[in-house]
Amino acid sequence: MQLFTGRAFGMAIPVVCAFAMPLSGSAGPAPKRRAVLVTGASSGIGLKITERLAASGYYVYAGARKSEDLDRLNAMENVSAVKLDVTVQEDVDEAMAFIKHEGRGLWGLVNNAGVAAVGNVAETSQRDLDFQFGVNVFGVHRVTRAFAPLIIASKGRITTIGSISGYIAEENFSTYCMTKFAMEAFADSLALEMAPLGVTVNIIEPGSFKSSIWRKVADRQLEQASLGKEVSADVQQSAEGIASYGAGLPEPDTVAAAVEHALSAQPPKHRYMVTPDEDEATVTLQSALRRVAELNQDQRFSHSRDDLVKMLHEALDAL
């Protein structure tokens, strides 16, 4: 198991809105009792989203796996807890049947459930690979496919929590970054497919916020390292470093605000980068621009520097 050594960008579950700046075209009030499904709603970003949407007049179906989390969510006003493990098709089918039976329809889907594990490409086990792709990619696809008919019927919105790790390929989080890069393609393709049907699709890309994912990453690192052997002091120190790093991060209130904007603004943005750290925001943009430069370098149809600047201006003007 690879030790945690570098900066971890976008480990939020758990995805250009500038940090510390309000969203332009602020979200309007939610129409009375519009229903939204939030996956992974038991803690962290998912819980913040659930709390904010419920307080703003939405009716939230809050997906969670554990009975104690379901009981806690059910006690909230404007919230119905739904047993939902996004990796289990039976759970997805039963959640779909329950929400359909409730009769409110479904205006919004927030694909928030996500997991992470530490490890570089050469050392990541098949178990960790399947674990992360199972939730972060296949789970998102499974839930979206199931609830698409209800969203299409309401001409509603589909929002996915990605990460700035969908732009920054961070060492020792290779598989996590792979899953978040996949969500970029998912959101772009789905937006094209759903636009003719009247459905708006967007993606929220948080930076580093407080989330239970950090403790879970640390616990999984210790679990994997302990298989058949004693855990070394270096591994223990690495795991505790991950957990303590996560504990010191800010609450994800701005991520929840971006989700509300994505569900209610006319029009919303397609991408929302939300980070509490200026360096994270800058590095993310630099990473995206570096890929443009690399794509253009020494190829048959390379553009001049002036042409690239013109393209950038045109892209900015189109927003």
DSSP state of 267: S
Q: Which residues are catalytic?
A: 176
Which range in 25-39, 185-199, 222-236 is most confidently predicted, on average pLDDT? 185-199
What does the pLDDT look like over 56-77, one tens digit per residue? Answer: 999 999 999 999 999 999 999 9
**Overall average pLDDT of the 126-140 stretch:** 95
Choose among 285, 251, 207: nearest CA to 8: 207
CA–CA gap between residue 271 and residue 204 (Å, rounded): 6
- Is pLDDT at 315 greater than 60 in this prediction? yes
**Domain 35-276: CATH architecture, name and number where available:** 3-Layer(aba) Sandwich (3.40)
What does the pLDDT look like over 155-211, one tens digit per residue? Answer: 999 999 999 999 998 888 899 999 999 999 999 999 999 999 999 999 999 998 866
**Overall average pLDDT of the 129-140 stretch:** 96
Choose among 207, 205, 299, 281: nearest CA to 246: 207
Give domain limits for the chain: 35-276, 278-319
Say how far residue 28 (Cα) sits from the centre of its chain.
23
**Overall average pLDDT of the 24-34 stretch:** 64
Burial of 76 (0-12, 13-18, 19+ CB in 10 A): middle
Tokens of 194: 């759903």
Angle at the Cα of 200 from the Cα atoms of 199 and 201, rounded to 5 degrees = 120
Single pTM value for the model: 0.84
Mean pLDDT of the chain: 86
**Overall average pLDDT of the 275-296 stretch:** 96
